[in-house]
Chains A and B, each alone.
Chain A
Amino acid sequence: MPSSHDWINKPLGVVEAMFAQSNSNPEWEAKVLEYFKGQLKEKESHSWVPSLNDVPLHYLKPNSLVKFRCLVQDMFDPEFYMGVYETVDPSTKVLRCGKYKDVTECGVDLNSRNTVTAERQTFYCVPIPGESPWAKEISFLSAARVVPSTSYVPSRQKRSYEEDDDMDTQPQKTKWSLTELQSSSPHGNGDSKRQETEAPSSQTTAPSDCSSHLDLNFPLPGERGPACLVKVYEGLDSFKLNDTLEIYGILSVNPVLTVIVYPYRDPSLLLLNPTESMETPEEQRAHDPPASLVPRLHMLYARPLQHNNPLLPSAPTEDQSAFVSSFLVEMASVRAELLAYLTHVLLGDGLAAEYLLLHLISNVYTRRDVLPLGKFTLNLSGCPLNSYTERLYQIVQQLVPCSYRLSMSLHTMNSMRLVPKKDYVANRLVSGALQLARNTSLFLDETQLEQGQLDSSGVRNITALGNLISWQKVDYDFSYHQMEFPCNINVLVTSEGRSLLPSDCQVPLQPQVTPPNMEEYLTTIHMAQFTSQINKFRVYLSLARTLDYSISDEVTKAVEDDFVDMRKDDPQSVTAEDLHRMLVVARLLSLSLGQTTLSRDGWMRAKHIDMLRRSRTEQQKSLNGNEP
């Protein structure tokens, strides 16, 4: 049984033992890491480790090994700790190891010559923002299948009559009804089913009112889940802000870590002892929140996540390549089914569905100087009003593992914080809605916009969105200067007319059907899909993105010739920008079919659909009679 594993239950014991054997030979540290890495490599072993994402904190054993799927939201300054210290009791004077620990229970000889000071850094990590309910659900269920090393047995009354375990093994008609879709609020993150697992952390030492005004700094409003202070010991430079990681580490929730935040300070104290106010109360609150709310995790091993789709093997192992090659076979058929599904969703508009599909697998694959390549921002114009876009988002949300719908109403644009900002008082990065993990689908709903006045923060927000779309970067506000952080976010803009934001490609929606009752129509479409089918779509979308892609010299030549010919015929018709876009379309089109090289056919097809799209926009233009 997995529960017999000491390395999960008492990882500190393992560390201590290795330290004791080492005779202060510094190599022991590497050995510890090797050991845990080795353990986790074993088949399935990583699924035995309970996950902070799925198991409520108070069910987890302190000082046990846990994993956490998260986004690095902020990086604090390095801190120093006693890597090796000597106990104070002279009779049993021994050297102890301070690594992977926050506190020690024994007295410490502060003047010992043997003390070794070491450095570690703290990352503030939050669950991946905008993670879709289905992704959480599946990860939750797989966690439930393996009995974790805690006393916690997930009980889910509401769905207990359904088959929990074989849900992802047996094809079964989806039970997600539209009412359920509705219950996941516009923010899409309040998954009602999980509420009970997020039991109020009442057993904690912190007074409950303290938790309410403790801002956990989630990028998106309405997010829930544990935030975590991750102590990082090795490879500090390999981690970047906004990385998505799966972290394996030792959980530390010692109540001593709860620094009392004094409501006020006696001014005379400052006079006598100015260093005591080294940290402002705000800073303490941000950096040392109660461990019961923000547990500490001492990192032993971290795996960067390429995606957070639980249906796909996440590590690039043989498993994955086998999985990929087996899936490649059915790629084309899945694509056709998905296309049909999206066509229905987009009211019978096949071209728009094609573009939506391409958009969903787009990915910034490289950057050349300032140019991000591979981004494919889609502007679906001509969307019917009356909550169609909301439904559309819910369907997109069902397909991608991470998404967020930003309703661009005047109020939200003026009041919401999109760009993260450094708060120098609390010394932390206050998050904003654009601090998102890679490949998150950002759904901008411009149909919600109304006439009115944008104030200065509104203008800033719009500018930030424009920059995000054009350059795939967000300028974080550091008061004295801005700092660019590159990102990789799929932006989909739905609007009535042409969007006020830039986009790589605009597709006016041309509904072929006009269902009398839109909600009913969409519900029916949604209900008609089997879970297994939806899961296939999910896998398909995540997989197509990760494929490699290349282009042969002949095709390169052909593309160049083609471009010149097109220019010859009608110089105004094709610009360099169009070529850029068509190359992206060709790439995505090939990848969507599971082809990893561009063929002549692929190029012609890309040209063809781009022409169709352009004729549609021209048409629209002449209809409206105004300039672009």
Chain B
Amino acid sequence: MESAAETSTAGVSVKDDLSEKCQKLFLEFLEEFQDTNGEILYQPDAEELIRPERNTLTVNFTNIEHFNQQLATTIQEEYYRVYPFLCRAVRYFARDHGNMPVAKEFYVAFSDFPSRQKIRELSTARIGSLLRISGQVVRTHPVHPELVSGTFLCLECQSVMKDVEQQFKYTLPNICKNPVCANRRHFMLDPNKSRFVDFQKVRIQETQAELPRGSIPRSVEVILRAEAVEMAQAGDRCDFTGTLIVVPDVAALAVSGTRAETSSRVTGGRQGFDADGIQGLKALGVRDLSYRLAFLACYVAPTNPQFGGKDLRQEDQTAESVKNQMTVQEWEKVFEMSQDKNLYHNLCTSLFPTIHGNNEIKRGILLMLFGGVGKTTMEGTSLRGDINVCIVGDPSTSKSQFLKHVEDFAPRAVYTSGKASSAAGLTAAVVKDEESHEFVIEAGALMLADNGVCCIDEFDKMDLKDQVAIHEAMEQQTISITKAGVKATLNARTSILAAANPIDGRYNRSKSLKQNVNMSAPIMSRFDLFFILIDECNEVTDYAIARRIVDLHFRNMESVERVYATDEIQRYILFARQFKPKITAEAKEFVVDQYKRLRQRDSSGSTKSAWRITVRQLESMLRLSEGMARLYCSDELTYLKVHPKHVKEAFRLLNKSVIRVDSPDINFDQEQDNGEMNDHSDMIGTNRNHAEEAMDTEHGAGRPEKTSTAKPALKMTFAEYKRVSNLIVFHMQKMEDIDESSLKMSELINWYLKEMESEIESEAELVAKKNLIEKVLHRLIHYDHIIIELTKTGLKKVGDEGEEPVIEEDPFLVVNPNYILED
């Protein structure tokens, strides 16, 4: 409203002392403000302005504050009022320092304005003062020239009126300057002698982070002028510095003169009658009482996604600057958290309060949120810092809940289902715009989650070719598309959190991870962590689960206990992510040691890991260690280092997730009682609550001896079993190759016992070993179907299926021709 009042006296400037003073001070500032080297800071910039496309001088607002606090305050509070005077100061300054054309208009822009308003907080009280707002650009209009000051020709006496100031609306001179000519209406604009400025409107919308739940995001029109135009593209998140103005409702403001002319020009046609009718009402003095607000911005900068933006990371941010953006309380909380001895555990439980147990997965996801450090090698290849996690598990083991939680928690997280999204939906697609027929790139989930987390449910249900499509995204962190003449490489710096169901619906522990999941090996190797969720039963966990669920349903909010609130964790993670931890010497050594150990164990073949340990796992270990170091960022605030203790935890997690995913003990006794392949997992031990713990066995070979006291040798680790079976199969294949005949079972057993001769000391042991090898063979024949029993070829009658192998019948054994010996 005020603005309308101020500008209604177009053409004549009322003397304004405050503004004049401001102009003087500002010019002083421009002339005198020096950088650290004693140079006049804005002189080079001003000289640049001679270039025809330049007209705006960008001034850092903090510099003004340093120079003259009072000036800064005046500019901030009376921005709209003093703005033309500041521009004038720039003009004088520029003219003093360069040979500027006289008629050229100059503008000033303010960068680095300290505080920031939310779009929701914009109210009439803020009209006219300098503000910074941020939002997502949702719509941009084309750039138009705007008339700044017009030169008019009086159509009655032909006299020329120069410099008629224009404000938001087309303003004719009030009266012809020729005293004898009383013309008030008939003027013609002379476009060649008038001055224009680039003008663009964009609309920005509240960001998701600022939005109260359940509301529609508000938007505001932003008017950009001069060099600020074309700075913002639809979809960008930008900061705008400028002021809130009231745009006079054109229809309402129009005084009879101009309006009558324009409206008669545009109406006509079928609506002409109505228009006149309404015009008539307006002429009678009926007027609309509402206005529109717009934001007149002088400076646009991409939002460095800070606190308001809640983005988890950004390149040009430091821990210090993040700290500065926090309120005192927020910082205290972060500090308090960093001092928490039990932080790791507390964060895990606060992050997933409604999910019971599964602590390793929680830890893995937590480290994923902290992330590793992205690096660039000397050759310029970049190594990703993002940690990818995959959860494989039985149905109804809260996999989706994990994903949902992360989507809810992490800013810029996208949740998508592999089943429902094609490659295009996940990566990016070239689509033809229906209206303009232009090709445009449509962002897919991965792109949308750039700098965030992409949660992909039912990863295994994804087409194999789609899996390949996200291959690149996982390692190179980009997506390239070449289609329909569009070639683009797009950033997709995302962590991937995937969930997959095992092939047979349930996880089969006797098979390797690879055989359990429908994923290609290259994709699998790109996950840093694999977790396996198995629906296990035992009283303790069942109770805990029951309690958790009943609580969920019937207790009120307090049942969800968190040590830290979500936003506190978000803030902490944001803060911690600013660090780029460096590896200490000891840690380096430790990493090397651990890696060597893994490699050796891998090559020795005693355990069969999910895949070969390669440098990829080494990288994973480093990333995880870095994440760990960030988590404990309190230790050294200036140079964060990765210590051996961080590596240790990283190694432990990696070990739990990757190495031993598939080495359950094999218990021959109960297996035969029960015959249920899928269930043998829950018969192994009583104290295993979770899949991870179940796999937490130390070196496999030691195990049978330990347990053999109770039930001699009827139990063996999976590794042992695999070793024996490989030995047998290898022998059988060799024999088959040599004399093309099959072995009888008795022969095979004898051969095996002979092989083992050196280890057998007593007769009891011999019996035990014999017993064991029989069980192994039984299993190989009846469950794993690696060896085929040829009972029919012999002279004997067919033995009943499903019974214990009848040794007396002594069938021939051959290796299943489809079986390939694994390394």
Listed in ascending order, the chain A residues whose CB lies under 8 Å from chain B are 74-75, 77-82, 85, 88, 98, 101-108, 110-111, 115, 117-119, 205-207, 237, 240-242, 254-266, 269-278, 368-371, 373, 422, 424-425, 427, 429, 456, 459, 462-463, 466, 470-471, 478-481, 483, 485-486, 550-551, 556, 559-560, 563-564, 567-568, 571-572, 575-577, 579-580, 583-584, 587, 627
**Are B398 and A255 within 8 A (Cβ)?**
no
**Are A260 and B1 within 8 A (Cβ)?**
no
Which residues from chain B contact A584 at a C-beta distance below 8 Å?
A: 553
**Are A424 and B290 within 8 A (Cβ)?**
no
What sequence of 0s and 1s flags, for each residue 235-250 of chain B, a beta carbon within 8 Å of any chain A beta carbon? 1000000000011001
**Are A272 and B274 within 8 A (Cβ)?**
no
Q: Tell me how far the C-beta of B129 lies from the nearest C-beta in chain A, rounded to whole angstroms.
A: 15
**Given A471-B404, A481-B448, A579-B545, CB of A104 within 8 Å of CB of B168:** no
Minimal Cβ-Cβ distance residue in B for A464: B420
**Are A583 and B401 within 8 A (Cβ)?**
no
Q: How far is the CA of A81 from the CA of B535 in the complex (A)?
A: 62
Q: Can you name 12 A-B pairs with beta carbons within 8 Å?
A: A108-B287, A237-B215, A241-B216, A254-B286, A265-B266, A275-B168, A278-B294, A373-B553, A463-B417, A471-B404, A571-B535, A577-B396
Which residues from chain B contact A486 at a C-beta distance below 8 Å?
A: 213-214
Our pick among A101, A370, A422, A462 for the contact of B289 (Cβ within 8 Å) is: A101
Our pick among A81, A102, A276 for the contact of B250 (Cβ within 8 Å) is: A276
Asked if B221 is at the interface (CB within 8 A of a chain A CB), the reply is yes
**Are A256 and B396 within 8 A (Cβ)?**
no
Which residues from chain A contact B262 at a C-beta distance below 8 Å?
A: 266, 269
**Given A205-B277, A266-B265, CB of A102 within 8 Å of CB of B288:** yes
**Given A102-B288, A256-B286, CB of A274 within 8 Å of CB of B201:** yes
Taking chain B's interface residues, is the majority helix, strand, or loop, or is none over half, making it mixed? mixed
Q: How far is the CA of A111 from the CA of B8 in the complex (A)?
A: 9
**Are A111 and B147 within 8 A (Cβ)?**
no
**Are B417 and A117 within 8 A (Cβ)?**
no
Q: Tell me how far the C-beta of A443 lies from the nearest C-beta in chain B, rounded to whole angstroms.
A: 23
**Are B267 and A260 within 8 A (Cβ)?**
yes
**Are B553 and A370 within 8 A (Cβ)?**
no
Which residues from chain B contact A369 at a C-beta distance below 8 Å?
A: 353-354, 405, 408, 560
**Are A485 and B289 within 8 A (Cβ)?**
no
What sequence of 0s and 1s flags, for each residue 116-155 of chain B, a beta carbon within 8 Å of any chain A beta carbon? 0000000110010000000010110100111100000000
**Are B505 and A278 within 8 A (Cβ)?**
no
Minimal Cβ-Cβ distance residue in B for A108: B287
Asked if B218 is at the interface (CB within 8 A of a chain A CB), the reply is yes
> Residues of B within 8 Å of A, CB-based: how many?
102
Which residues from chain B contact A241 at a C-beta distance below 8 Å?
A: 214-216
Which residues from chain B contact A255 at a C-beta distance below 8 Å?
A: 277-278, 281
Stretch at the interface among B46-54, B304-312, B329-337, B536-544: B536-544
Q: How far is the CA of A598 from the CA of B765 in the complex (A)?
A: 60
**Are B420 and A80 within 8 A (Cβ)?**
no
Minimal Cβ-Cβ distance residue in B for A239: B215
Minimal Cβ-Cβ distance residue in B for A471: B404
Asked if B552 is at the interface (CB within 8 A of a chain A CB), the reply is yes
**Are B136 and A480 within 8 A (Cβ)?**
yes
Asked if B99 is at the interface (CB within 8 A of a chain A CB), the reply is no
Asked if B66 is at the interface (CB within 8 A of a chain A CB), the reply is no
Q: How far is the CA of A466 from the CA of B419 in the complex (A)?
A: 12
**Are A262 and B542 within 8 A (Cβ)?**
no
**Are B289 and A567 within 8 A (Cβ)?**
no
Q: How far is the CA of A260 from the CA of B169 in the complex (A)?
A: 19
Q: Tell me how far the C-beta of B643 lies from the nearest C-beta in chain A, rounded to whole angstroms.
A: 34
Our pick among A108, A266, A564, A627 for the contact of B546 (Cβ within 8 Å) is: A564
Which residues from chain B contact A274 at a C-beta distance below 8 Å?
A: 144, 146, 199, 201
**Are A262 and B5 within 8 A (Cβ)?**
no
**Are A117 and B1 within 8 A (Cβ)?**
yes
**Given A278-B221, A571-B537, CB of A105 within 8 Å of CB of B543:** no
Which residues from chain A contact B168 at a C-beta distance below 8 Å?
A: 273, 275
Q: How far is the CA of A115 from the CA of B3 in the complex (A)?
A: 13
Minimal Cβ-Cβ distance residue in B for A575: B396
What sequence of 0s and 1s flags, for each residue 153-193 of chain B, a beta carbon within 8 Å of any chain A beta carbon? 00000000000000011100000000000000000010000
Interface centre among B4, B223, B251, B537 (most CB of A within 10 A): B537
Q: Which 6 A-B pairs have the closest CB atoms?
A: A571-B537, A240-B214, A560-B546, A563-B546, A75-B216, A272-B170
**Are B417 and A567 within 8 A (Cβ)?**
no
**Are A104 and B286 within 8 A (Cβ)?**
yes
Q: Which of B292-321 contact A (CB under 8 A)?
A: 292-294
Asked if B219 is at the interface (CB within 8 A of a chain A CB), the reply is yes
Minimal Cβ-Cβ distance residue in A for B355: A369
Q: How far is the CA of A579 from the CA of B199 in the complex (A)?
A: 62
Our pick among B5, B420, B539 for the contact of A463 (Cβ within 8 Å) is: B420
Minimal Cβ-Cβ distance residue in A for B504: A627
Minimal Cβ-Cβ distance residue in A for B246: A80
**Given A80-B124, A371-B401, CB of A483 within 8 Å of CB of B275:** no
Q: Tell me how far the C-beta of B378 lies from the nearest C-beta in chain A, rounded to whole angstroms.
A: 37
Which residues from chain B contact A273 at a C-beta distance below 8 Å?
A: 147, 168-170, 250
What sequence of 0s and 1s flags, for each residue 615-646 of chain B, a beta carbon within 8 Å of any chain A beta carbon? 00000000000000000000000000000000
Which residues from chain B contact A242 at a C-beta distance below 8 Å?
A: 214
Asked if B212 is at the interface (CB within 8 A of a chain A CB), the reply is yes
Q: Which of B344-374 contact A (CB under 8 A)?
A: 353-354
Our pick among A429, A556, A579 for the contact of B554 (Cβ within 8 Å) is: A556
Q: How far is the CA of A103 from the CA of B284 in the complex (A)?
A: 12
Q: How far is the CA of A484 from the CA of B420 in the complex (A)?
A: 18
Q: How far is the CA of A262 from the CA of B199 in the complex (A)?
A: 23
**Are B189 and A272 within 8 A (Cβ)?**
yes
Which residues from chain B contact A102 at a C-beta distance below 8 Å?
A: 288-290
Asked if B220 is at the interface (CB within 8 A of a chain A CB), the reply is yes
Asked if B550 is at the interface (CB within 8 A of a chain A CB), the reply is yes
**Are B274 and A260 within 8 A (Cβ)?**
yes
**Are A478 and B124 within 8 A (Cβ)?**
no
Q: How far is the CA of A15 from the CA of B397 in the complex (A)?
A: 61
Asked if B547 is at the interface (CB within 8 A of a chain A CB), the reply is yes
**Are A560 and B267 within 8 A (Cβ)?**
no
Asked if B38 is at the interface (CB within 8 A of a chain A CB), the reply is no
Our pick among A103, A205, A550, A587 for the contact of B286 (Cβ within 8 Å) is: A103
Q: How far is the CA of A207 from the CA of B277 in the complex (A)?
A: 13
Our pick among B144, B169, B208, B291 for the contact of A271 (Cβ within 8 Å) is: B144
Which residues from chain A contact B286 at a C-beta distance below 8 Å?
A: 103-105, 254, 256
Asked if B269 is at the interface (CB within 8 A of a chain A CB), the reply is yes
Which residues from chain A contact B8 at a C-beta distance below 8 Å?
A: 110-111
Asked if B270 is at the interface (CB within 8 A of a chain A CB), the reply is yes
Our pick among B288, B294, B353, B547 for the contact of A560 (Cβ within 8 Å) is: B547
Asked if B217 is at the interface (CB within 8 A of a chain A CB), the reply is yes
Asked if B568 is at the interface (CB within 8 A of a chain A CB), the reply is no
Sample of 15 further A-B pairs with CB below 8 A, known A102-B289, A369-B354: A79-B292, A85-B289, A115-B1, A117-B127, A256-B286, A260-B271, A264-B266, A272-B147, A273-B147, A274-B144, A278-B294, A371-B354, A483-B211, A571-B536, A583-B549
Which residues from chain A contact B463 at a C-beta distance below 8 Å?
A: none
**Given A119-B123, A459-B420, CB of A256 within 8 Å of CB of B288:** yes
Asked if B682 is at the interface (CB within 8 A of a chain A CB), the reply is yes
What sequence of 0s and 1s flags, for each residue 723-759 of chain B, a beta carbon within 8 Å of any chain A beta carbon? 0000000000000000000000000000000000000
Asked if B24 is at the interface (CB within 8 A of a chain A CB), the reply is no
Q: How far is the CA of A85 from the CA of B4 in the complex (A)?
A: 15
Which residues from chain A contact B537 at a C-beta distance below 8 Å?
A: 567-568, 571
Which residues from chain A contact B220 at a C-beta distance below 8 Å?
A: 77
Minimal Cβ-Cβ distance residue in B for A265: B266
Interface centre among A105, A254, A273 (most CB of B within 10 A): A273
Minimal Cβ-Cβ distance residue in B for A273: B170
Asked if B802 is at the interface (CB within 8 A of a chain A CB), the reply is no
Asked if B282 is at the interface (CB within 8 A of a chain A CB), the reply is yes
**Given A462-B420, A559-B546, A567-B537, CB of A427 within 8 Å of CB of B219:** yes
**Given A207-B271, A371-B401, A483-B217, CB of A278 within 8 Å of CB of B549:** no
Our pick among A80, A206, A275 for the contact of B290 (Cβ within 8 Å) is: A80
